Chains A and B, each alone.
Chain A
Amino acid sequence: MMNKRTPLQSVILYTLVLALVIFCVFPFLQILSTSLKHPIDWGNPSLIPRILHLDAYKELLGLMPAKEIDVPASIQRLLDNPALSAEKKQMLLAKFSSGGDVFPFGRYMLNTFVISFITGICSTFLASLAAYAIARLRFPAQSLMANGVLFVYMVGGVLLMVPLYQMSVNVGLASSAGGTIFSLFLIYLIQTLPVAMYMLGNYFRTIPFSLEEAAMMDGCSRVEAFWRIIMPLSKPMLFTVFIYCFVIAWNEYLFASVFLKQYQDFHTLPLALQTLFTSKNAIWDRIMAASMLTLLPVIICFMLANRHLSGGLTDGGVKG
């Protein structure tokens, strides 16, 4: 029979595949493992924690019960002194609680989610209009424009970082938190649009033009045909493009680190993780749990995108 593998070939093939998979998956396993380890277990090289320790997750997700403040007896006596003002008492108490150590993970996640979600929606919407124009309409300098957008990718982010920040300072956007976030959103749009357009444009070309013609004969204008025929038919690809843009924005670190440096409240997760990594006392389980929680939406997104990618919606519309 054709292409039948010998047992030896099979063994070699599967060994190589397995090696590659382990190489790719190992860092994730390491993250997962460390995030579940108790501090006493950190030195243990095994991937399997000796005790399953979920405190890091609970802490990040705000599920930990409020800590009892353990105050030495001498201080307690001081606190009991009615002559001490309430303000002073709080200051004293704060020294014994670990309040300075709290990491507002939920806040960062929300920041990241909001900017990624808006980027995903806007980029997908704008890309679908642009992709349709490039795929279907004829206008002067069409191919120049179609290829020109890809030019963005020829210039690395590091090169653009300073000029773009300069620009946003010049137009006055960088002077407020809202303006800064808006300029960051614009940058994410620019970063995601070219590929989004490319993906959608190629997909639109696979939809037979006669479907639009049929819609036009049925009384739809070109724009209506786009909304009522092309867009519903492109749902899988629109979803994939959305996920792609969402994930790009979700993981973006470089521009966020420059633009959001002074707005701690608006930090995104990659930025927050970085502060966590470089903090003086490395609390490994928390760092890794935070990494894991940052990864999770990305993994979910890819699984969803994968499921949607396989379906071809245009089957059966036209005879080949």
Chain B
Amino acid sequence: MSSVILRNVNKSYGNLPIVKNLNLDVKDGEFVVLVGPSGCGKSTTLRMVAGLEDITQGDIQIGNKTINDLPPHKRNIAMVFQNYALYPHMSVRENIVFGLKKSGADADTIKNKLADVSEMLKLNEYLDRKPADLSGGQRQRVAMGRALARDADVYLFDEPLSNLDAKLRHHMRTEIARIQHQYNMTAIYVTHDQIEAMTLGDRVVVMRDGIVEQVGTPMDIYLQPTNTFVATFIGSPAMNLIEAKIEGEELVFDNYRLPATKIANVDMHSLRAHDSVLVGIRPDFFEDSTLSSPSDNLFEFNNIEVNLVENLGFDKEILFKLGGEDAKARLDLRSHVKRQEHISLSVDLNRVLLFDTSTQGMLLNAGEV
């Protein structure tokens, strides 16, 4: 296992920049997830680490050795591809041991590794089949097995679950997390699925347009997003952002006046420099007022008209208007709201975030970050 360091890495195709000045340290044994919308440069970054794309500028180090000019086969990296890329003319067994054989492992090691991997991924009964005779989930497991059988310094995953159905994806997500912890692998995982990012990553790197927007633990990113892009990209349903006027020490929208002083982490001094702010409230942090226990840090949005109720089983998502925008709240099954009812929703002001309307950055008390 090894650490991976990216220093001022740039990638452009002709004049079109894809990755801009990317810096990232992946520690030994750490699982880092790159997440972002399509075209944000996350896959390109991964492929640069793999050596499948040239680096336009900057350095990539693996285990403190700069590998910019090292061809892929000399980097000792294992990779799981989005489309699996199994060798169609080889059996599952041959696919799994191909890399091991190539690295010159002896027969015993190969045998043991194959047994380990096929046991772990439940591939025992398929070892003699060809990839064409496997289902999508099985192929995906073979692709994982092929990477895991290798004794690589770094493991790369390029959206490995995106071709699976929801149930299988959930299962494989758990498996990957378990295997990574078991082997203490250094891994970089690319996904556009924020649930995968949250559940798998020791740290999550949120990217947009070739730029790293935020690096942090999943909970950091969920609770303290640095800007509105991260705030809305991570978390489902997306965070509600409502523009509010600042009047004295109150944030005003619709008929609601939120006491700014009670919002955590906010520096009143810097707040006064603004006319308006974006108030960010995650749908998960709304509660049905009839069910919430009273606390002096709760703010109550009363007289809210429910436009739509989506029942998801344990949760239900309700749609309503807040500050002229569509807003969502996620309530649990104790709440019995119905469409077109008028209800009260309360929010713990500690959970409310404020963003600059022009820079979209989070407004923080410098001392609290």
Contacts and interface: CB of A to CB of B under 8 A. Distances in A.
Contacts of A318: 81, 83-86
By CB atoms of chain B within 10 A, which of A213, A224, A232 has the most? Answer: A213
B134 A316 contact: yes
Contacts of A315: 88, 132
Contacts of A229: 87
A263 B11 CA distance: 64
B102 A316 contact: no
Contacts of A221: 71, 73
B163 interface: yes
A260 to B, nearest CB: 41
Nearest to A220: B73
Interface residues on A, range: 20 to 34
Contacts of A313: 88-89
B79 A215 contact: no
Interface string B129-146: 011111010010000001
B102 A218 contact: yes
B85 A214 contact: yes
B150 interface: yes
A18 interface: no
A210 B159 CA distance: 14
A208 B99 contact: no
Given A316-B86, A317-B84, A218 B150 contact: yes
Interface in B44-97: 50-52, 71-73, 76-79, 81-89
B77 A217 contact: yes
Contacts of A314: 88
Interface residues on B, range: 20 to 34
Interface string B159-189: 0000100000000000000000000000000
B164 to A, nearest CB: 9
By CB atoms of chain A within 10 A, which of B77, B88, B130 has the most? Answer: B88
B84 A218 contact: no
9 contacts: A213-B85, A216-B72, A218-B98, A219-B99, A220-B73, A221-B71, A233-B88, A315-B132, A319-B82
A319 B140 CA distance: 9
A31 interface: no
Contact of B87 (A215, A216, A217, A222): A215
A211 interface: yes
Contacts of B131: 316-317
Contacts of B302: none
B71 A214 contact: no
Nearest to A213: B52
B103 interface: yes
A218 B50 CA distance: 11
Contact of A232 (B73, B78, B89, B130): B89
A213 B72 CA distance: 9
A233 B87 CA distance: 9
A224 B134 CA distance: 26
Interface in A212-265: 213-222, 224, 229, 232-233
Contacts of A214: 79, 81, 85-87, 146
B50 A319 contact: no
By CB atoms of chain A within 10 A, which of B76, B83, B139, B156 has the most? Answer: B83
